[in-house]
Structure 1
């Protein structure tokens, strides 16, 4: 038996038919690439001109690459810990079954990071997933408003909430392949629509390039960038249903290559066309003229955001069910609890409909921890001796040695803590307060920035 959930190394598939059936049943490496590529860059693609305008060309490009590389590194750390957990859990359970004549399934209480870190991590991940899901509702209603249906954003948010709540009925990610294809089509079209339009139409009259702007705006945008590459909170639940969980970090790396093709050209071209005008508009759709191509993009992105909601909310549902110990209860009970969770997220989205800055707030206070800091610290804490490191189930990123891995991990944790959690948290919180104060008719506004 393989602790990775696959077949023994070297054992061929029983037949071509089984390979064909397996491909369509989901759980393959291809599925993992699709899900990460679809989830990795969603509505945050619309914030790229705003990010570049507040950071400037050079810093935005450099930081986007560094943040994404740090994300690939820490994704490897998380998958390594998952594989190690599975290995230890399997052998502990097997030993318990032999010694005590107990079922192997009873040994389910191991935790690579320890009980305190484990509880804290669960809280942060739930916070991150909730914030990511709320951001999808806000973005969808903001985009739908551009279709000029005569419906205010608050009502649109309620409609969106009703639609995304249907994801409560989806059992696992193995049934999600068709939706991830839709997500990829939407982001690819939108990224290249904005890039080509910006390059063809050229700079607006009297364009100027003053980025970086203020320190507050810079770190608010840096937090939004962390959010952009911060899908690790959902990664473990997705990896866990794959045929080969140990390969999920490789799939993540391939998805990042795709992300580069729709983020870097888009951010550069958007800033080139709009310059400083983009520094105050967090939703790029509002910068472009109303054309049929833009409206197609709006519709596609709304569909993508519904898909992305499911990708983020799905792991949140599963984690909540495990915490409440109803993961093995009746399916309808789980659906009922999921609907309560969606209701809470919808309430937050209607009360705080701040596109862009919500990404920054989530990026600073949860993504920075769940994606970068906790994986690095937990990995160093678990592999705290050279012998333990050398006997690990999965190689370190880039086959780095013990000291190199620990040094890079501590560096990522420290830098993200200072510039992401502290500076980004300060900037995002101040920006959120400013936007909250700008609502003339209070929270749950019928239409914000209409």
Structure 2
């Protein structure tokens, strides 16, 4: 396969430069990161559906969505994810702008506070939230591209689009609710229950 059409993983680069031990270390780190990322996504889905239907607890919803998501192993190729990626982009766009508009309409809560972190735990909690605000764009997108040589342009456009989704919503929600976000794992829980919020919660399940 010509090099320009081949997708090289970063741990394969470690294999070529530093040897198989570093490759295995990188592969182990990558698998661990994906495992914990998947668990976080399942918990987030369970949290969303819990606000729509609280007849079951969050742990039960996590098991249900875990079983449903496990069926994705039957998808034969990364290229088949392309339509789901496009739909996911539309769903994320709706949710992000719903959070922005709803927070601006809601306005600041009474005596809203915006404290700076005073302990190491709070500091790293905030740092983690910032990292998750900007999401993650990795080289895996190349596996779904028919022309991976255009990855640089695709990555740039994806990053710019990500900024338009994350910065306005994160700023608007934090301005409106401040430190009330700290004990809440889901920002949607702070907004009043409306048809628009339910739509956002359902869309985030996909």
TM-score per shorter chain, which class?
0.7 to 0.9
- After superposition, the Cα gap between the structure-2 partners of 1:229 and 1:154, relative to the gap in structure 1 and judged at 3 Å, is closer
Alignment match, 1:4 = 4
Alignment match, 2:80 = 175
Alignment match, 1:361 = none
Alignment match, 2:124 = 219
The structural deviation recorded for 1:130 is 0.7
State the distance in 1 between where 2:151 and 2:94 align.
26
From 84, 108, 112, the counterpart of 1:203? 108
**SS of alignment partner, residue 269 of structure 1:** helix
The structural deviation recorded for 1:213 is 4.8
1:318-353, Cα deviation, whole Å (9 max, x unpaired): xxxxxxxxxxxxxxxxxxxxxxxxxxxxxxxxxxxx
Instruction: Give the alignment of 1:270-419 within 5 angstroms.
Output: 270-303=173-206
- After superposition, the Cα gap between the structure-2 partners of 1:288 and 1:255, relative to the gap in structure 1 and judged at 3 Å, is same
The structural deviation recorded for 1:189 is 0.7
1:380-423, Cα deviation, whole Å (9 max, x unpaired): xxxxxxxxxxxxxxxxxxxxxxxxxxxxxxxxxxxxxxxxxxxx
Tell me whether 1:145 sits opposite 2:145 in the alignment. no
Higher alpha-carbon Rg: 1
The structural deviation recorded for 1:112 is 3.7
State the distance in 1 between where 2:200 and 2:104 align.
17
> Is the Cα contact below 8 Å between 1:186 and 1:300 reproduced in 2?
yes
Q: Where in structure 1 are there 5+ consecutive unaligned residues?
A: 7-78, 87-109, 304-450
Give the CA RMSD over aligned residues: 2.5
> Is the Cα contact below 8 Å between 1:194 and 1:270 reproduced in 2?
yes
The structural deviation recorded for 1:231 is 4.5
TM-score by length of 1: 0.42
TM-score by length of 2: 0.87
The structural deviation recorded for 1:168 is 1.1
State the distance in 2 between where 1:265 and 1:135 align.
23
Which aligned segments of 4 or more residues in structure 1 are displaced greater than 4 angstroms?
A: none
